[in-house]
Structure 1
């Protein structure tokens, strides 16, 4: 029988769950499946989590931390103009493979907790984008619309195939950036 790895921690279980989740969906996130993939006993799981629901809550927290909070922190750390901050944020989004985002949105179709987290994160992301557009100099209504359009590009990449290569995604997001940061609209 396999024994518990003393170096295996809560985050190891979360990472294993995330990989399983992204590859095979939330239905595949099971204690036995994860224990087998980590080559460890189930007992280790219960050392770190109360139950499977506790792990599922950790998946949601990790998604929000990695795909939203960390991106905003990175943008806030750079000393630059609001336009440079916006471009940096869009480049972070373009570099994301969207696997976790897609898995979360599929899960949310059938799970109220996941849907609530999607709604909370969507609101946070839209408000931050709007904040950046306002800092650039747009009125609140203009900033809200530009934030919505910008975010729609990101979500579009989740639901349809994004440009294949990173350089293509970066080129496309820079075009979106150039278009949406024009102060004087094209007549």
Structure 2
């Protein structure tokens, strides 16, 4: 799976082929088929793995650490700032031409936005404010996928911490 994700991030979905994977792992095609029924099975697994590591694992980590909703939100922002976005970018490029990948993106976007919105609601935002603040955060993060993000991880962390400060220390209208 890791080899398939690396190929996806480095060369795109077009390069994720059984022969390429077998060669990169120095295994036979038969060894590949021991783990996956076919290429389609691998592609489905890639989608599941992306959802698991780039969304579900982050949410689980935030929930396990606990704290106030504001602290949880800050922790989530810090997790997002540490991500290099290579896999996110590769998935979104893939989704341009693949319905299954596009549907996965839609599910993940919905799950992430709902989680953000829920944290803002717990902080004390109204429904409308929580929705908008979640969209702002998510737009910033996805903007890094499309345009050049801050160059260093420390710059990304500083920006996300400032965004947290702006969005959580503002008077809430209920």
Normalised by the shorter chain, which TM-score bucket? over 0.9
**Per-residue deviation, 1:60:** 0.4
Matched, 1:20 2:7: yes
Structure 2 length normalisation: TM-score? 0.97
**Per-residue deviation, 1:78:** 1.1
**Per-residue deviation, 1:182:** 2.1
- In structure 2, list runs of 5 or more residues that go unmatched: none
Q: Which position in structure 2 is the counterpart of 1:44?
A: 31
Q: Which position in structure 2 is the counterpart of 1:35?
A: 22
CA distance in 2, matches of 1:79, 1:116: 30
* Bigger radius of gyration among the two: 1
Q: Which position in structure 1 is the counterpart of 2:68?
A: 81
Q: Which position in structure 2 is the counterpart of 1:127?
A: 114
**Per-residue deviation, 1:79:** 2.6
Matched residue of 2:165: which SS?
Answer: helix
Structure 1 length normalisation: TM-score? 0.91
Question: Could you say what the CA RMSD is over the residues aligned between the two structures, in angstroms?
Answer: 0.8
Q: Which has the higher contact order (CA 8 A, sep 6+)?
A: 2
- Equivalences for 1:94-133 in 2 at 5 Å? 94-133=81-120
1:137-159 deviation digits (Å, cap 9, x = unpaired): 11111100000000001100100
Matched residue of 2:37: which SS?
Answer: coil
Aligned residues of 1:138 and 1:183 also touching (Cα < 8 A): no
Matched, 1:142 2:129: yes
Q: Which position in structure 1 is the counterpart of 2:139?
A: 152
- Runs (4+) of structure 1 exceeding 4 A deviation are none
- In structure 1, list runs of 5 or more residues that go unmatched: 1-13
CA distance in 2, matches of 1:112, 1:65: 19
